[in-house]
Structure 1
Amino acid sequence: MAGYAKGSGRVPTGYAAETFISESTFRAAHRAIAANPSASNSKKRKREAKGDAGIVDGPGAYKGPWARYEEERPDAASDEEFGDDEEVEIVYEEDEIAPNPEPSSKKFAGTNYHDDSIETETSEFVGSAEYDYQGRTYMHVPNDLDIKLTGDRDDVKNFIPKKLVHTYKYHTKSITQTRFFPDSGHLLLSASADTKIALWDVYHQRELLRTYSGHTKSVNDIDFNPSGTQFLSASYDRYMKLWDTETGKCINKFTSGKTPHVVRINPSSPHEFLAGMADKKILQYDTRSGELVQEYDHHLGPVNTITFCDENRRFVTTSDDKSLRAWEYGIPVPIKFIAEPYMYSMVRSAPHPSGKYIAFQSSDNQITVYSSTDRFRQNRKKGYRGHNVSGYAPDVAISPDGQFISSGDSGGYVCFWDWKTCKMWHKIQASDAPVLAVQWHPRETSKVITGDLNGVLKYWD
């Protein structure tokens, strides 16, 4: 393309005439427009009439979109519209910036995203009968079984399950977590990537009892309170919600604007819970007031596990920063920090029934064990291998008598090891897809639930 002579006034789109305007005239025009924006819109040039489509030539002929703009007289306009400086009302001083509008909700004032995904929480009872002949709901522990579901567990020994007893189907996407009803285990709660939470009957008809909808993205984690009357859910929609198990009502919801990865209700203080977040923090909430009461901020990566120990006076956390930290409950300074060069990030955890150990699912295809007493040291004698977990985060579970440890596997297996000898006892092909959720029944001798990537729950005996 040919160049243009400097100062010629020619530009690629036509001809630009150079003009001069005094500082005072420019300021007066600027203030007038700021004071009355609607007036500035009215100063647009008017176009000639489009004309009559029936007339081809002469006065009133059709011009349509080719109608010209009417001629302006800039000198007259400037005299009439922009008077002396003193007559113009100044709205903004020079260099002054209009304040930002207030956020519509104080709750989300600190978040860095626009939240338009808040969904009303709903719950539906889908079982065959909500009440029995005595007017009791499904929350009542059944007495008509040949197994004792209440009182002391006694010295019941556990065994490795061998066969499939029942298959539960409702979820359409991956099972992310399962939880048996505390102590009795007569109900089963499952969370899924399809945003739904489901409550199942473990005995009798083994049917779907209630569904809980309210999250808009995959549910990461669920946790019952010690009595089972309420449970907590955490989701990728950045919300943690407290539900009433029986009625399905959402009692409270919490958010910090970040994604929660793990939630744990304190068994000794059921009105408080801990949440491990994607922004490296562990947050402690009070469910009665809904307030954030403590913040533990020492990890360098997203928090993956929270495990209570020492009669719930302490807890242990692991993170993607490949470290382990132990804390006194309520004190935001770690009492122990472990980060060795050979350590991998630990993605799931399970406390041993004895209260002395915690087992962690490590990303290098093994289960490692740390003591949960004063020293929090790794037990080098205990390492469980033979399964594949890389790329996934299968759950790890320990039998109620502490004799067996089990884990999911990316090849669709459920693996069982002897706790003392660390030898693998058995492998069950539980699914074609990776098995992500595993839990032992708290009362039965050999019952285990598994959940896979396809959303299928299987009950084994």
Structure 2
Amino acid sequence: MSGYAKGSGRVPTGFAAETFISESTFRQAHRAVEANPNAENTKKRKRENKGDSSIVSGAGAYKGPWARYEEERPDAASDDEFGDDEEVEIIYEEDEIEGNPAPPPKKLAGTDYHDTEAEGETSEFVGSQEYDYQGRSYMHVPNDLDIKLSGDRGEQKNFIPKKLIHTYKYHTKSITQVRFMPDSGHLLLSASADSKIALWDVYHQRELLRTYSGHTKSVNDIDFNASGTQFISASYDRYMKLWDTETGKCLNKFTTGKTPHVVRMNPSIPHEFLAGMSDKKILQYDTRSGEMVQEYDHHLGPVNTITFCDEDRRFVTTSDDKSLRAWEYGIPVPIKFIAEPYMFAMVRSAPHPSGKYIAFQSSDNQITVYSSADKFRQNRKKSYRGHNVAGYAPDVAISPDGQIVSSGDSGGYVCFWDWKTCKMWHKIQASDTAVLAVQWHPRETSKVITGDLNGVLKYWD
């Protein structure tokens, strides 16, 4: 016998080379195995290198999870007889156990997905003047107006707006949510499907002040904290981000790998917020530690709305499972569960200024009202109809005096109803496409902002 042919069977290249080793080397290895037949089993077998994922065939080609176990070479001294093959990096399983992880495989160019984690958050001031002559930023509530934007609001009556007074343009896709600065309303925040968030001046030049970039997909909800110094955003890129309103700095990021549909800062606890997720859960986060501190898991479908009530000690949620649940804040067991056969999924909500009711945009083209006191019962007398919401989720808003209910419409209207009689007072043709966002100014008597499917914001008086 002149040598021992060591064939390797099928290989990725489709070619098996025969390798000859000397008879003495073969005998030596044979005797070693006979002397200790269990030696093979005492050592962990090592895998061949997984290869480079960018190489399809040839030397160093990608084997991935199909990499075979490497066959033991009988003798290190006989390496020369194999020829100078390319060096193969071997990852020992023992190393992985001891805490030396294997290097991550390179991404294949064709499936090199955009990593949202690596996306940097940026913010740019684009207004004409960042600070006034006293060094105050745009966060300072202006005093040079004929309306008082701070202090007690007083008994102010609201009226239905009649004319368009300004159009804000920056976003390139649908407006998903708008928010006035809490209490003063001198700034306006808008979120859009173009992944951008924008801050606008409501008075003076009515210009774009600051842009916030960092999400990679549509931003579906935003919410200020009680003082307006920070806001939280939720996006289809599965991240929730906490921003500093003034500097534009991203203060923290939160993700569970699922899409957040709705986020609400707790008005009484400024460092906590709730997020309604696509995987049926409501999550409670602490923004200081970045940790999730509570999970509310009783819904059977994606969560659509979260509304605080009872001086923020409780909150009400609705979901695609066509139910309504009320919770004590911090206790993950619902205190009320409502699911009737005639109910539809409720997609948007607005608390009544009195604190006694919550209005919900129902998917069957009506706005329904539930009491947010102890009983959490539906108020059967209050149903607002006449608008069309099918296929969209237009916002619902109640005027600061609690007398006017307003809603967007898929036909481009903004509709206004009388809270007491439920009669539709007025409809404004606000756009030639669906109006999705509607909010009342917290201080003005008849100012309303609307946002449509084309990304245009309109300010009405």
1:189-228 matches, cutoff 5 A: 189-228=189-228
Taking structure 1 as reference, are residues 75 and 166 closer, same or farther at Cα in structure 2, changes over 3 Å only?
same
Shift of residue 82 of structure 1? 5.3
Shift of residue 124 of structure 1? 0.2
Greater mean alpha carbon deviation, residues 114-123 or residues 448-457: 114-123
> Which residue number in structure 2 is paired with residue 403 of structure 1?
403
Taking structure 1 as reference, are residues 122 and 77 closer, same or farther at Cα in structure 2, changes over 3 Å only?
farther
Separation in structure 1 between the aligned mates of residue 342 and residue 24 of structure 2, nearest angstrom? 79
> Once superposed, what is the RMSD of the aligned Cα atoms?
3.1
The count of residues paired between Structure 1 and Structure 2 equals 397
> Which residue number in structure 2 is paired with residue 90 of structure 1?
43
Instruction: Please list the CA deviations of residues 71-90 of structure 1 after superposition, one character each: whole Å capped at 9, or x if unmatched.
Output: 76589599379543347683
1:50-129 matches, cutoff 5 A: 79=26, 83=30, 84-85=32-33, 86=36, 90-92=43-45, 116-118=115-117, 119-129=119-129
> Which residue number in structure 2 is paired with residue 136 of structure 1?
136
Residue 29 of structure 1 contacts residue 82 of structure 1 at CA under 8 Å; is this kept in 2? no
Taking structure 1 as reference, are residues 72 and 137 closer, same or farther at Cα in structure 2, changes over 3 Å only?
closer
Separation in structure 2 between the aligned mates of residue 168 and residue 234 of structure 1, nearest angstrom? 22
1:313-332 matches, cutoff 5 A: 313-332=313-332
Residue 357 of structure 2 contacts residue 371 of structure 2 at CA under 8 Å; is this kept in 1? yes
Separation in structure 2 between the aligned mates of residue 79 and residue 368 of structure 1, nearest angstrom? 86
> Which residue number in structure 1 is paired with residue 416 of structure 2?
416
> Which residue number in structure 2 is paired with residue 159 of structure 1?
159
Q: Percent identity?
A: 80
Residue 309 of structure 1 contacts residue 315 of structure 1 at CA under 8 Å; is this kept in 2? yes
| Other structure's SS at 1:79 match | helix
Residue 177 of structure 2 contacts residue 190 of structure 2 at CA under 8 Å; is this kept in 1? yes
Residue 178 of structure 1 contacts residue 189 of structure 1 at CA under 8 Å; is this kept in 2? yes
Separation in structure 2 between the aligned mates of residue 326 and residue 179 of structure 1, nearest angstrom? 24
1:336-355 matches, cutoff 5 A: 336-355=336-355
> Which residue number in structure 1 is paired with residue 359 of structure 2?
359
Taking structure 1 as reference, are residues 75 and 189 closer, same or farther at Cα in structure 2, changes over 3 Å only?
same
User: 1:145 and 2:145 equivalent?
Assistant: yes
Instruction: Please list the CA deviations of residues 361-380 of structure 1 after superposition, one character each: whole Å capped at 9, or x if unmatched.
Output: 00000000000000100000
TM-score, normalised by the number of residues in structure 1: 0.80
User: 1:257 and 2:204 equivalent?
Assistant: no
> Which residue number in structure 1 is paired with residue 59 of structure 2?
none
Residue 238 of structure 1 contacts residue 256 of structure 1 at CA under 8 Å; is this kept in 2? yes
Taking structure 1 as reference, are residues 74 and 194 closer, same or farther at Cα in structure 2, changes over 3 Å only?
same
Shift of residue 193 of structure 1? 0.4
Instruction: Please list the CA deviations of residues 348-401 of structure 1 after superposition, one character each: whole Å capped at 9, or x if unmatched.
Output: 000000000000000000000000000100000000000000110000000000
> Which residue number in structure 1 is paired with residue 302 of structure 2?
302
> Which residue number in structure 2 is paired with residue 291 of structure 1?
291
| Other structure's SS at 2:198 match | strand
> Which residue number in structure 1 is paired with residue 186 of structure 2?
186
Letter in 2 for 1:92: R
Instruction: Please list the CA deviations of residues 389-428 of structure 1 after superposition, one character each: whole Å capped at 9, or x if unmatched.
Output: 0110000000000010000000000000000000000000
Letter in 1 for 2:45: Y
Greater mean alpha carbon deviation, residues 293-302 or residues 93-102: 93-102
Larger-Rg structure: 1
Residue 242 of structure 2 contacts residue 250 of structure 2 at CA under 8 Å; is this kept in 1? yes
Separation in structure 2 between the aligned mates of residue 211 and residue 73 of structure 1, nearest angstrom? 69
Taking structure 1 as reference, are residues 139 and 294 closer, same or farther at Cα in structure 2, changes over 3 Å only?
same
> Which residue number in structure 2 is paired with residue 269 of structure 1?
269
Shift of residue 116 of structure 1? 1.8
Shift of residue 314 of structure 1? 0.2
Separation in structure 1 between the aligned mates of residue 305 and residue 389 of structure 2, nearest angstrom? 16
Separation in structure 2 between the aligned mates of residue 363 and residue 103 of structure 1, nearest angstrom? 51
> Which residue number in structure 1 is paired with residue 173 of structure 2?
173
Residue 412 of structure 1 contacts residue 432 of structure 1 at CA under 8 Å; is this kept in 2? yes
Letter in 2 for 1:215: H
> Which residue number in structure 2 is paired with residue 368 of structure 1?
368
Task: Give structure 1 stretches of 5+ with no counterpart.
Answer: 1-24, 34-39, 47-70, 106-113
Separation in structure 1 between the aligned mates of residue 387 and residue 21 of structure 2, nearest angstrom? 83
Task: Give structure 2 stretches of 5+ with no counterpart.
Answer: 48-67, 70-91, 105-112
> Which residue number in structure 1 is paired with residue 110 of structure 2?
none
Separation in structure 1 between the aligned mates of residue 29 and residue 194 of structure 2, nearest angstrom? 63
Shift of residue 117 of structure 1? 1.9
Taking structure 1 as reference, are residues 125 and 380 closer, same or farther at Cα in structure 2, changes over 3 Å only?
same
User: 1:239 and 2:239 equivalent?
Assistant: yes
Taking structure 1 as reference, are residues 373 and 45 closer, same or farther at Cα in structure 2, changes over 3 Å only?
closer
1:380-459 matches, cutoff 5 A: 380-459=380-459
| Other structure's SS at 2:306 match | strand
